[in-house]
Amino acid sequence: MGTSFVMTGMTKPQTPPPIGHPHSLTEDIYALVIGLLFIAIGLLLLKTAGLVTGGIAGIALLTSYVVPLQVGIIFTLVNVPFFIFAYFAMGWQFALKTIAVNLGVTLLMTLMPEALHIDFINPAFAALAGGTLCGMGVLALARHGAGVGGTGVITLWLQKKRGINAGRSQVIIDTVILLVAMTVIAPNRLAWSALSAFSLSAMVIAWHRPGRYIGY
């Protein structure tokens, strides 16, 4: 009597959605470092096995098999046009972080032989582990407002502006990269490369969904 609500089992109290908190500068820096390490190690595994993968990493690896330059250097050179796109499409902060990430990848890949040398690696392991590590690196960067540039800038922009899942659009781009790779690497390596590209995209598809992660 006199109350404005009914206590029945037919209704449930509505829980307000969680409110995200911006990452601190320390958290952003730590995430960038971890993302860089994942990507650098993933690239090393794939390069050692003679494979390619998806995204800008795949383009850099593919180019390294025909051009006598280090993967890290190619990684940054190929990305220059995408830095400009990132500035206009995603803002100067995203572009600045992306440039920093690329310089970090170049530095780590240059120093990697001094820290880790692999004499043998099974291509199946390289494909699965290398692709997954690269995907985890891309995911860590994306959640903290950065990216590796290249095709990743395009897919993140499409997700942000058009609601198109970044992982799915990346699959289309990766298919084109693998088709081009057919002219460079052996058929058996191409199959493992497809697995690495799938592993990379699967990480993004599974974990980088709008509303799943609060705090970005």
pTM here is: 0.77
Closest CA to 154 of 94, 76, 77, 216: 94
**Tokens 């009914």 — which residue?**
6
- Give, in degrees to the nearest 5, the angle at Cα 40 between 210 and 166: 20
Q: Which helix (H) or strand (E) holds 141?
A: helix 131-142
Work out the average pLDDT over 45-70: 92
Give the pLDDT of residue 208: 57
pLDDT above 80: residue 190: yes
Give the pLDDT of residue 4: 44
Q: With cut-offs at 50, 70 and 90, classify the pLDDT of residue 133.
A: very high
Q: With cut-offs at 50, 70 and 90, classify the pLDDT of residue 61.
A: very high
C-alpha span between 81 and 127 (Å, rounded): 28
Give the pLDDT of residue 20: 54
